[in-house]
Amino acid sequence: MGDLLITVAPTGAETTKADCPQLPTTLAELVETAVRCESAGAGMIHVHIRDDEHRPTLELERLRDTVAALRESTDLVVQLSTGGSVHDPLDDRLRVLDAQPDSCSLTMGTTNFGDDVFLNPWPFVCDLYQLSQERGIVPEFELFDLGQGAALHRLLATYGLPHGGRVHADLVMGVPGGMPGTADALVAAVAALPPQTTSWSATGIGRSTLAVALASLSKGGHLRVGMEDVLTMARGVPVEHNEQLVARVVELGRVAQRVPMTPAETRTLLGIG
Ligand code: KMH
Ligand code: ZN
């Protein structure tokens, strides 16, 4: 029986193909990545897509084709990003749910994001949450800062539980502008989660990836890894394929006596029918 959810976030929206040619940006590259990461131990994939010029897009037809292609080739839980890129309009981000993924990311507040702003005003958070409930799509609550745990309390108190009845949060740590990627911050963020939380994972951006993964394992949490969050295996050693990042945390999990969850076990954990 698996007890460690590994989510792979293979692409993101903020790294360019020119800067990182090995980033999976085409549908064929994404599917190949998903297949290999599933074999390596991932249970869920967090998806951002690109257009023909490798630029981030939320084009609905492409999102639908992507969901279908991933379902065709893998059993992974397919989570579409509703965060998009820092430049995407809120309406386009709401429309992502029209592509009917298994899960969607749902960020609990506005965060400075490097030199940009990742906009998540409260009315948008509420609209997106209620839409996910109507459509039967299970949200993953993404928390970039400590106060966003309090926002999650407020959301659940106001609108009740998500579709499926489970509450899964992901701590995204180490974004310049959000909470730092440290064990101390992780402990504080976990303590701030609402009591309805049934599971949580964590990811550390950039060089905080290992500190956050190890802290999460030692607190009994789950893990997200991928080239959305980190582009090097070590200083000066680029990630060549997302599979390497998944394999590394499978190994960390093995040392911590944690076994990767299958996609079927992941569905049970998250309340995806
Ligand atoms: N690209 C970031 C601004 C999500 O996927 O929901 C937002 C992000 C979060 O990646
Ligand atoms: Zn994302």
> 108-120 pLDDT, tens per residue?
999 999 999 999 9
**Nearest residue to 127 (alpha-carbon basis) of 152, 159, 101:** 159
**Residue 143: its pLDDT value, please?**
98
Is residue 108 within 8 A of residue 125, CB to CB? The reply is yes
**Residue 192: its pLDDT value, please?**
98
**Residue 247: its pLDDT value, please?**
99
Cα-based distances in Å from 5 to 181, 222, 240, 267: 19, 5, 23, 10
**Residue 1: its pLDDT value, please?**
96
- Pocket of ligand 1, beta carbon within 6 A: 12-14, 81-83, 85-86, 105, 107, 113, 118, 142
**Residue 119: its pLDDT value, please?**
98
3-state secondary structure of 251: helix
CA atoms of 90 and 119, how far apart (whole Å): 8
Instruction: Please state the pTM of the whole predicted model.
Output: 0.99
What separation in Å is there between the alpha carbon of 268 and the centre of ligand 1? 25
CA atoms of 203 and 210, how far apart (whole Å): 9
**Residue 87: its pLDDT value, please?**
96
CA atoms of 119 and 15, how far apart (whole Å): 19
Joined together, the tokens standing for residue 219 give 């607190």
Candidates 142, 170, 175: which one to mutate for ligand 1, based on the most atoms within 8 Å of Cβ? 142
Which residues have C-beta under 5 Å from ligand 2, the single-atom ion?
81, 83
Joined together, the tokens standing for residue 260 give 């990767």
- Specify the residue with its C-alpha closest to ligand 1, atom 9: 83
- Exposed/middle/buried for residue 59 (C-beta within 10 Å: 0-12, 13-18, 19+): middle
Candidates 86, 107, 111, 140: which one to mutate for ligand 1, based on the most atoms within 8 Å of Cβ? 107
- Specify the residue with its C-alpha closest to ligand 1, atom 2: 85
What separation in Å is there between the alpha carbon of 83 and the centre of ligand 2? 6
Phi, psi of 201 (to 5 degrees): -130, 175
pLDDT band at 10 (very low <50, low <70, confident <90, very high): very high
With a pLDDT cut of 70, the percent of the chain lying above it is 100
